[in-house]
Amino acid sequence: MVPSMKVEIEEISPVQRKLWIEVPSQEVVGNLDRAYRNLKKKAKVKGFRPGKVPRSILERLFKKQVEKEVTQDLLRNSLDEALKEIKLQPLMLQLPQQLPALNQEDSFKYSVEFEVAPEFTVGNYRGLKVTADPVEVSDAMVDQRLREIQELNAWLKPIGEDRPIKKGDFVLLDYEAQADGQAIVGGASQNYHLEVGSNQFNADFEQQLIGMTRGQEAQIQVNLPADFFNPVLAGKTVDLQVKIHEIKEKELPVLDDEFAQSLGANFQTREDLEQSIKQDLINKKEQQRQAKLRDQLLDQLIKQTCFEVPPFLIRQEQEDILREQLDAFQRRGINLAGIDKEKLLEKLRDVAERRARAHLILERIADQEGITVNQAEIELGYHQLAQRLGEKAERIREFYQQNQRVEEFKKSLREEKALKLLLEQAEGTTPLTNPENAQEGI
Residues 6+ apart with CB under 8 A from 327: none
Cβ atoms of 140 and 131 within 8 Å: the answer is no
pLDDT at 135 over 80: yes
Q: 158: which strand partners?
A: 248
Question: Same domain for 283 and 411?
Answer: yes
Q: Among 230, 251, 272, where does a domain finish? A: 251
Q: At what angle do helices 270-304 and 349-369 cross, to 10 degrees?
A: 80
**CATH number of 288's domain:** 1.10.3120
pLDDT of 103 above 80? yes
User: According to the model, what pLDDT value does residue 100 have?
Assistant: 83
Domain membership flag for residue 147: no
In a domain, 125, yes or no: no
Same domain (yes/no): 341, 222: no
In a shared domain, residues 319 and 214: no
User: Which residues are registered as beta bridge partners of 241?
Assistant: 176, 219
6-13 and 16-23: which strand pairing?
A: antiparallel
- Is 190 a domain residue? yes
User: Would you say residue 151 lies in a domain?
Assistant: no
3-state SS, one letter per residue, for the chain: CCCCCEEEEEEEECCEEEEEEEECHHHHHHHHHHHHHHHHHHCCCCCCCCCCCCHHHHHHHHHHHHHHHHHHHHHHHHHHHHHHHHCCCCCEEECCCCCCCCCCCCCEEEEEEEECCCCCCCCCCCCCECCCCCCCCCHHHHHHHHHHHHHHCCEEEECCCCCCCCCCCEEEEEEEEEECCEEEEEEEEEEEEEECCCCCCCHHHHHHHCCCCCCCEEEEEEECCCCCCCCCCCCCEEEEEEEEEEEEEEECCCCCHHHHHHCCCCCCCHHHHHHHHHHHHHHHHHHHHHHHHHHHHHHHHHHHCCCCCCHHHHHHHHHHHHHHHHHHHHHCCCCCCCCCHHHHHHHCHHHHHHHHHHHHHHHHHHHHHCCCCCHHHHHHHHHHHHHHHCCCHHHHHHHHHHCCCHHHHHHHHHHHHHHHHHHHHCECCCCCCCHHHCCCCC
CATH code, domain with 57 = 3.30.70.1050
One-letter identity of residue 224? L
* Percent of the chain scoring above 70 in pLDDT: 96
List, for residues 192-232, the tens digit of each pLDDT value: 999 999 988 889 999 999 999 999 999 999 998 887 877 77
**Contact criterion met (CB below 8 Å) for 17 and 110:** no
Q: Give the lowest-confidence range in 250-264, 354-368, 371-385, 419-433.
A: 419-433
Of 13, 25, 18, 21, residue with least CA distance to 80: 21
Residue 388's pLDDT band, with cuts at 50, 70 and 90, is: confident
Please check whether residues 209 and 285 belong to one and the same domain.
no
Q: Domain check: are 288 and 245 in the same one?
A: no
- Own/partner contacts of 249-254, CB < 8 Å, gap of 24 or more, are 249/156, 249/157, 249/159, 249/168, 249/169, 249/170, 250/151, 250/154, 250/155, 250/156, 250/168, 250/170, 251/154, 251/155, 251/156, 251/157, 252/150, 252/151, 252/154, 253/150, 253/153, 253/154
CA trace torsion 284, 289, 294, 300 (10° rounding)? 160
CATH of the domain at 186: 3.10.50.40
User: Among residues 94, 115, 136, which one ends one of the domains?
Assistant: 115
Domain assignment of residue 139, yes or no: no
Beta-carbon count within 10 A of 243 CB = 16
Where is the domain boundary, 251, 279, 297?
251
Q: Are residues 279 and 424 in the same domain?
A: yes
Q: Residues 282-290: what's their mean pLDDT?
A: 94
- pLDDT, tens digit, for every residue of 296-343? 999 999 999 999 999 999 999 999 999 998 888 888 777 777 778 888
**Interatomic CA distance for residues 48 and 134, integer angstroms:** 87
Is the pLDDT score of 2 beyond 50? Answer: no
238, 183 Cβ separation under 8 angstroms: no
Is residue 237 domain-shared with residue 308, that is, in the same domain?
no
Q: How many domains does the chain have?
A: 3
Question: Are the CB atoms for 201 and 244 separated by under 8 Å?
Answer: no
Amino acid making up residue 65: Q
Whether residues 359 and 383 fall in one domain: yes
Asked if residue 146 is part of any domain, the answer here is: no
- pLDDT tens for each residue of 37-75: 999 988 888 888 888 889 999 989 999 999 999 999 999
Asked whether residue 184 is domain-assigned, the answer is yes
Residues 273 and 247 occupy one common structural domain: no
Domain identity same for 226 and 324: no
Residues 68 and 164 reside in one and the same domain: no
Judge whether 57 lies within some domain: yes
Helix axes 393-402, 406-425, angle to 10 degrees: 120
What is the value of pTM for the model shown? 0.74
CB atoms within 10 A of CB 65: 11
> 192 is in which domain, residue-wise?
156-251
Q: What pLDDT, on a 0 to 100 scale, did the predictor assign at position 429?
A: 62
Q: Quick one: 102 and 224 in the same domain?
A: no
